Structure 1
Amino acid sequence: MFGQIISDRGHDHRMTSERLTTLLTNRVPEITIAFWVIKILSTTTGETFADYLDGDVGLGLQLTAIVMGGLLVIALIAQFATRRYTPGVYWTVVVLISIVGTLLTDLLTDVVGVPLWVSTAVMVVLLGTTFAIWFARERTLSIHSIVTRRREAFYWVAILLTFALGTAVGDLVTESFGLGYLWGVILFGSLIGLVALARFVFGMNAVLSFWIAYILTRPFGASLGDLLSQKHAHGGLGFGTTMTSVVFLGVIVALTVYLGVAVRRQRAAVEGAPVVEPAQ
């Protein structure tokens, strides 16, 4: 990781040219605590901001989906135009894709009338198919080697489907099953904790654990967003979609600015590290 390389002062900073190339050209961020914090915040923002545009502003689901879909296309064009991971552009795409993923499931449920369990099953199949094609073409599902635009295309399709799937699962559990937002936060938070335990204590496969956690953070963040924003009568704390969205967006912007500064410093340190070739 970038952070590991610059924080282990006094250690051997030499690395292979292959490792250096990966660090300097990967188009997505390293997995750190900041990554997961922003991911959960963007998920919560996706839930509350979609509700804000749909209900408070009165755009309706379909117009909201069109507007957010258009903004997502613009952000993706900017992301694919970058040479490597750029925090501001990358996290803008994540926030927008979280909104669009939420709206995709909401459209299926509220406009088309597809039951949540059917939406969940469909998203599972689509995500599984995406992973199968991705692996067949690239022989890896690791996000540590997203160094080509084709791999990145698979990555963003998978990310969109994880948001849509997480929305369907979250709504199915908290609303259709009547669990409620607070218990939804507890349930999905506990599941994320179990995945972390399986990964770091029992050695669960890193790629598998990442994608399971990524899916689970969507219903966790959505349940958290609904808990904070919905009215007391609906099982929430009543802070409203506007306040929740603004506060969480503010935190996301602050963390993104911090990461932008940190990444520039880290890359400068990495570029100055001695490079060695692996023994044949």
Structure 2
Amino acid sequence: MTTERLLDDRPLAPLRTVANKVPEVTVYFWIIKVLTTGMGETASDLLARMLGPVPAVGLGGLALVVSLAVQFAVRRYIAWVYWTAVVMVSVFGTMAADVLHVGLGVPYTVSTPLFLVTLAAVFALWYAVERTLSIHSVNTRSREVFYWAAVLATFALGTAAGDLTATVGFGYLGSVALFAVAICLPALAHRLGALKAVPAFWTAYVITRPLGASLADWMALGHTRGGLGLGLAPVTLAWTAAIVCFVGYLAVSRRDASGVQAA
């Protein structure tokens, strides 16, 4: 699932209005995606601890709106712009799931299927309107809105699912192992011809969230909670630095933009 062949079964797109604004699905895409999920998890917790839950959610929401406004304003894929928006979605998506659980007392056994239904509704509406869910054809304003709505829903779902497995007996390290195995299944199913490219992509995309978040939590949280105890701030900074390095490389090399075009 590291090449553009993953999504090459897309249908023909309607009239093109902008270039495709999503990067090519390469190994770098998946690495940065996992890094953003872990960084979003610890950054969200760190902001809530430093500022308090309400100011943290407000700041996260504002940063999300600004980053998406910039992403919508540009006319093509720009690595820094796109991945900044993904990071902000990660931070705010984590906050959304945490608000339901911590603030409103909704158990993960309820919020996880709730976010799953929300994501399914986004996909259903997206397909009903556009007749495709392929990220190779995010080339109209409508499709871009649907794409980012789906991305936000996947982050919220993944956060709740990861916290659910961590609290029902798997622990954080066990959850890492669980989701590391799970993320291989759609790729294997696609290679064997049992799953088409688009559902294989989105299934893996959802799983990256609990995988990265569980790994970051395991690194950051204390020994009493089954973690390494490295701390939220150091883990957030380290993962942010890794994201900056990878995105900087892509911005210069354009390794993920050579084939980005309207589909």
Structure-2-length-normalised TM-score: 0.90
From the CA coordinates, give the structure whose radius of gyration is larger: 1
* Poorly superposed stretches of 4+, deviation over 4 Å: 264-267
**Residue matched to 2:8:** none
Shift of the 263–118 alpha-carbon distance from structure 1 to 2, 3 Å rule, reads: same
Q: Return the offset for 1:238.
A: 1.1
Aligned residue in 2 for 1:68: 60
The percent of aligned pairs where both chains have the same amino acid is 47
Residues 221 and 232, structure 2, Cα contact 8 Å, conserved in 1: yes
Match of 1:261 in 2: 252
Identify the match of residue 26 of structure 1 among 13, 20, 39.
20
Q: Which whole-Å CA distance do the structure 1 matches of 2:118 and 2:41 have between them? A: 22
* Residue 196 (structure 2) pairs with residue 173 (structure 1): no
Q: 1:130 maps to which residue?
A: 122
Superposed CA deviations along residues 11-67 of structure 1, whole A, max 9, x for unmatched, are xxxxxxx99x98x91111111100000000000001111111112x2x122211110
For the residue of structure 2 that corresponds to 1:183, the secondary structure is helix
- 8 Å contact 1:86–1:260 — kept in the other structure? yes
Q: How many residues align?
A: 250
SS at match of 1:239: coil
CA distance in 1, matches of 2:178, 2:186: 13
* 2:45 counterpart residue number: 51
- In the alignment, which of 66, 81, 103 is matched to residue 111 of structure 1? 103
Q: How far apart are 1:202 and its partner, in Å?
A: 3.5
CA–CA separation in structure 2 for the residues paired with 1:126 and 1:265: 30
CA RMSD of aligned residues (A): 2.2
Answer whether contact 2:39 2:239 (CA < 8 A) is retained: yes
Which of 214, 222, 242 is the aligned partner of 1:223?
214
Q: 1:244-276: CA deviations, max 9, x gaps?
A: 111111110111111111228965x999xxxxx
Ranges in structure 1 where 5+ consecutive residues have no aligned partner = 5-17, 272-280
Aligned to 1:248: 239
Kept in 1: contact 2:154–2:205 (CA 8 A):
yes
Q: Could you tell me how far apart the structure 2 residues matched to 1:220 and 1:71 are? A: 24
CA contact (8 A) 1:62 1:107 kept: no
2:151 is equivalent to residue 159 of structure 1: yes
1:169–1:152 Cα change, 3 Å = same
1:25 alignment partner, SS class: coil
Structure-2 change in CA distance of 1:270 and 1:120 (3 Å):
closer
Q: Show the counterpart of 1:189.
A: 180
Deviation at 1:97, TM superposition (A): 0.3
User: 1:156/1:265 Cα in 2 relative to 1: closer, same or farther (>3 Å)?
Assistant: closer
Q: Distance in 1 between matches of 2:240 and 2:169?
A: 29
SS at match of 1:77: helix
Q: For residue 196 of structure 2, what is the aligned residue in structure 1?
A: 205
Is the 2:20–2:260 contact (alpha carbons within 8 Å) kept by the matching residues of 1? no
Once the two structures are TM-superposed, the CA of residue 121 in structure 1 deviates from its matched residue by: 1.6
- Unpaired runs of 5+ residues, structure 2, are 5-11
TM-score (norm. length: structure 1): 0.84
